[in-house]
Amino acid sequence: MRKTLLPSLLLAALCTGSAVAQKAAKNAGNSQPYSAVGKKAQVFTTAANTELRISAGNTLTLQPVGQPLETQVCIFVDPGKTFQTMLGIGGALTDAAAETYAKLPKATQQEFMQAYYSPTAGIGYTLARTSIHSSDFSSGPYTYVADKDEQLKTFSVKHDEQYRIPFIKQAQAAAGGKLTMYVSPWSPPAWMKDSNDMLRGGKLLPQYRQTWADYYVKFIKEYERQGIPIWGLSVQNEPMAKQKWESCIFSAEEERDFIRDYLGPTLKKGGLGDRKLIAWDHNRDQIYQRASTILDDPKAAQYVWGIGYHWYETWTGSSMLFDNLRRVHEAYPNTNLIFTEGCVEKFSFDKVNDWALGERYGHSMINDFNSGTVGWTDWNVLLDQTGGPNHVQNFCFSPIIGDTRTGKLIYTNAYYYIGHFSKFIKPGARRIISSSNRDHLSTTAFLNPDGKVAVVVMNNSDKAQDFQLWMQGQGASANSPAHSIMTMVVN
């Protein structure tokens, strides 16, 4: 008998087993070789054309099995091979999300915070991103300084105190006081650019490189003064895109030099040298060229924690280019990969129930993690029934839609697909091998700090598929419904 997690409350508790079993699993995961003998797997499923939404189903018991036949469909899991450590999974706390949230009734606001940030009643987000002044998902362009204030004497985040800062603080509280936060600029102030315009591209003027670097430091220190710790920052959102919204162009060499000569030293001088600096912050298509240009310069590379990327290379007609991530990971194994932004574009309210929304997330997340990614950040955590607000009408989907007409939340299936990762794979988890022998079943898996293994399996086909979960000669039979995603928690 399956039990379904209701969208608004997600109150069903996870079947975690006895305290003795938890202790044994912890010991097995942390200090002894992993053993699958005697393990059980609790199955959670989300499936199209059903009411299953991260729904607790059967508990599987692993038993000794022989050599699988070629005709047997299998997911092979090997906890003995560990890879990157999970930083976290979450979404962006934008002006648009904060403004939409403020328009919702108090009870709906509480439901929203629980749905995203509770590790038991929700999907347990632990990672967040926000912008340094405005992005397209703001009600209008703005900065934190007066025009031509080269000394930044007028610097103030008062704009953010109305909606964004209170919103972030509530998310922090809902996450138990811990939310790994990083920040990104979309454009310098207009007067710092050769175009004298925050929108439509343009470049940072050479004489303002130091002023712009100082601006990041002031922002981070002011947010931290207001009680929002900043874990890291990216150099520039989408530095090769001339957008109709806030944007600024940096070639690979220009970004390298800005990091090496200005931003890196300025962060260090400002006492922020331990903040994690993320380069690129754009699509997978040019990620290797950007990463190699920056990381092959030791003086620039010393400041760079990781390479960030988005999933929008599909605008060219290409599919998602996961091999490019692998090339970066192969060439620079000590530099982290982090997914910094993704959303489904061209919002239509008629498509909020489209199953393809979630499948895009599942496809990306499985392959991104298998390519070495340590953190995954969705774009807006919340938008209204128009896919905004957005001051240039670049309306998009978010996993949860806040309908300000009714005061209710609409949960797209993207919310549940993300939850199959964020709810069960915890910060500090190590990726392990999970391999499928059929292309319509894709999979990834992690060994959590408590010793539990989370195996995610996605079926993007029109047919249900029986398969065997196979671990170290132990196996259990399972079923993957058509167009579904499932997480098996092995304990």
3-state secondary structure the chain: CCECCCCCCCCCCCCCCCHHHHHHHHHHHHCCCCCCCCCEEEEEEEECCCCCCCEEEEEEECEECCCCCCCCCEEEEEEEEEEEECCEEEEECCHHHHHHHHCCCHHHHHHHHHHHHCCCCCCCCCEEEEEECCCCCCCCCCCCCCCCCCCCCCCCCHHHHCCHHHHHHHHHHHCCCCCEEEEEECCCCHHHECCCCCECCCCECHHHHHHHHHHHHHHHHHHHHCCCCCCEEECCCCCCCCCCCECCCCCHHHHHHHHHHHHHHHHHHCCCCCCEEEEEEEECCCHHHHHHHHHCCHHHHCCEEEEEEECHHHHHCCCCCHHHHHHHHHHCCCCEEEEEECCCECCCHHHCCCCHHHHHHHHHHHHHHHCCEEEEEEEECEEECCCCCCCCCCCECCCEEEECCCCEEEECHHHHHHHHHHCCCCCCCEEEEEEECCCCEEEEEEECCCCCEEEEEEECCCCCEEEEEEECCEEEEEEECCCEEEEEEEC
Please say if 224 is a catalytic residue. Answer: no
- Marked catalytic residue, from 238, 255, 313, 359: 238
Closest CA to 390 of 376, 314, 382: 382
Half-sphere exposure of 42 (CA within 13 A, CB side): 15
Half-sphere exposure of 419 (CA within 13 A, CB side): 29
CB atoms within 10 A of CB 16: 15
Answer whether 292's CB lies under 8 Å from 331's CB.
yes
- Marked catalytic residue, from 99, 111, 255, 341: 341
CB atoms within 10 A of CB 166: 14
**Rounded to an integer, what distance in angstroms lies between the CA atom of residue 342 and that of residue 361?**
9
**Rounded to an integer, what distance in angstroms lies between the CA atom of residue 411 and that of residue 54?**
13
Please say if 238 is a catalytic residue. Answer: yes
**What is the token pair recorded at 218?**
């002031």
Cross-strand pairs, 475: 63, 470
Closest CA to 97 of 402, 404, 411: 402
Answer whether 59's CB lies under 8 Å from 473's CB.
no
Q: Cite the active site residues.
A: 238, 341
